[in-house]
């Protein structure tokens, strides 16, 4: 459904208030979403959660989109960046309705307007437009990855084949558990690695940069994180993972 000029005006006129209350908006949004959908704790990085970086990034992107709603092409670069990140984390279309619902409730809360109102309906249309764009681009990226020789979309099981100590950290080498081909990767591309968090019924993903041009195995350097928490993927890998253990990887992507 295309937005009416009135809806566009409603959305644009409330962006400044939402931006001013950005911290309230994002913290309310995340708390609400994660308490209603605890499964998503496996998707979001609980580390950056705490620092609030990610919640701000998502809401800020929605607000930026709303500002440029008559000229979405202005956001092409941002769309490229968001969709690359999302694809590396296996974000799926059905998750957009969860984010949307929680975001709209948060907007209604911060602006102190009823959920059933023209204003929230206008924001809903704006969100749906952006979600459609992202879902469409992500679908193409998943298809392109799956179509490559040795490629895959989403997560794939890998085994830790070697761990080498170095001054900078530990160099992990991983190979696909199914012994099948994997896409050749170029140094500087990145992958997401998903691990089980010890002592929690929880998985956490984190991105690592690949070290060399690689064929059939991938290598990445794991450095201890300074502000470590029990959810720090690097520290979990360094402290709890050994050769032979299994992790999950998303396919190599360029930033």
State the catalytic residues: 96, 138
Gyration radius (Cα) of the chain, Å: 20
DSSP 15: H
Q: Which stretch binds ligand HEM (CB under 6 A): 4-12, 58-66, 179-187, 244-252?
A: 58-66
How many Cβ atoms sit within 10 Å of the Cβ of residue 82? Answer: 21
Cα–Cα nearest to 251, from 148, 170, 160: 148
Give the SS3 label for residue 16.
helix
Q: Which stretch binds ligand HEM (CB under 6 A): 2-10, 68-76, 94-102, 106-114?
A: 94-102
Residue (126 or 210) nearer to ligand HEM, CB: 126
How many Cβ atoms sit within 10 Å of the Cβ of residue 76? Answer: 11
**Whole-number minimum distance, CB 176 to ligand HEM, in Å?**
24
Is residue 29 within the footprint of ligand HEM (CB under 6 A)?
Answer: no
Distances (CA, A) of 66 to 12, 109, 128, 191: 6, 18, 11, 31
Is residue 172 within the footprint of ligand HEM (CB under 6 A)?
Answer: no
Torsion over CA: 255, 187, 203, 225 (sign): negative
Among 25, 63, 89, 153, binds ligand HEM (CB under 6 A): 89
Is residue 107 within the footprint of ligand HEM (CB under 6 A)?
Answer: no
Residues in the site for ligand HEM, rule: CB under 6 A? 40, 43-45, 48, 54, 57-58, 61-62, 81-82, 85-86, 89, 91, 95-96, 99, 130-131, 134
């Amino acid at each position: 459904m295309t937005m009416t000029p009135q809806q566009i005006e409603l959305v644009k006129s409330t962006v400044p208030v939402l931006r001013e209350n950005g911290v309230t908006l994002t913290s309310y949004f995340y708390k609400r979403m994660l308490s209603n959908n605890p499964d998503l704790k496996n998707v979001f990085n609980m580390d950056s959660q705490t620092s609030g970086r990610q919640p701000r990034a998502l809401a800020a992107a929605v607000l930026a989109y709303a500002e440029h709603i008559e000229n979405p092409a202005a956001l092409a670069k941002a769309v490229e960046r968001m969709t690359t990140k999302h694809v590396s984390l296996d974000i799926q279309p059905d998750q957009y309705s969860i984010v949307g619902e929680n975001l709209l409730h948060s907007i209604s809360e911060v602006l102190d307007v009823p959920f059933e109102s023209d204003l929230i309906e206008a924001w809903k249309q704006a969100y749906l437009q952006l979600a459609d764009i992202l879902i469409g681009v992500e679908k193409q990226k998943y298809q392109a990855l799956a179509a490559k020789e040795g490629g895959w979309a989403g997560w794939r099981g890998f085994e830790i084949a070697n761990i080498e100590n170095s001054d900078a950290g530990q160099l992990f080498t991983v190979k696909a558990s199914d012994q099948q081909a994997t896409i050749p990767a170029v140094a500087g591309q990145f992958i997401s690695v998903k691990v089980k968090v010890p002592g929690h019924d929880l998985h956490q993903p984190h991105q690592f940069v690949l070290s060399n041009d690689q064929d059939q195995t991938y290598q990445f350097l794991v450095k201890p994180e300074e502000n470590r928490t029990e959810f720090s993927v690097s520290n979990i890998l360094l402290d709890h993972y050994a050769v032979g253990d299994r992790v999950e990887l998303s396919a190599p992507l360029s930033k």
